[in-house]
Amino acid sequence: MPATETDCPPEEFFKALEMERTQALVNRNMDTLERLHSPDYQLITPPGKIFDRERYLGAVAEAPFYSSWDIGDMSVRVSAEMAAVRYQARLGFPSGRTVVCWHTDIYERHAGRWQAVWSQATEIR
């Protein structure tokens, strides 16, 4: 039976989607980033700063923002229209700084396509 728009994709779909999104951030693949981030996307950084989609993707496009993004084991919660992905990440920055954090991303289905709408990182000290 073919999948319908209301079917929930498996957890592996979202794990792969998050890997694609984070590697696009490191590699500054703007076409992929624009496709995977909702127009109303927001990121809350470890220090509590809020970046909307325009500001975040603009910063990534302007200069290397991340030098690496290593992902630990992911936990995924899925419903027909929303998914949450949570994991520990080791983020590398061009300055040489490394941040280990809990990272949570919320994806929503928009016109049949899954896009990140919220991301939040909490530094682990």
Query: Do the domain assignments include residue 75?
Result: yes
Mean pLDDT of 32-60: 97
Predicted pLDDT at 25? 98
Q: Evaluate whether residue 63 is within a structural domain.
A: yes
* C-alpha torsion angle, residues 44, 46, 48, 51 (rounded to 10): -40
Beta strands 37-44 and 113-123, pairing class: parallel
pTM over 0.75: yes
pLDDT at 1 over 50: no
Average pLDDT over residues 69-96: 96
pLDDT at 4 over 70: no
Angstrom CA distances, 98 to 15, 39, 51, 81, 112, stand at 22, 29, 20, 34, 36
- Residues 96 and 30: their CA atoms lie apart, in Å, by 23
State how many domains the chain has: 1
CATH number for the domain that contains residue 77: 3.10.450.50
Q: Rounded mean pLDDT of 68-82?
A: 96
Which structural domain range is residue 53 located in? Answer: 11-123
**Residue 106 is assigned to a structural domain of this protein:** yes
**68 inside domain:** yes
Q: Give yes or no for residue 111 having a pLDDT over 90.
A: no
Whether 4 is in a domain gets the answer no
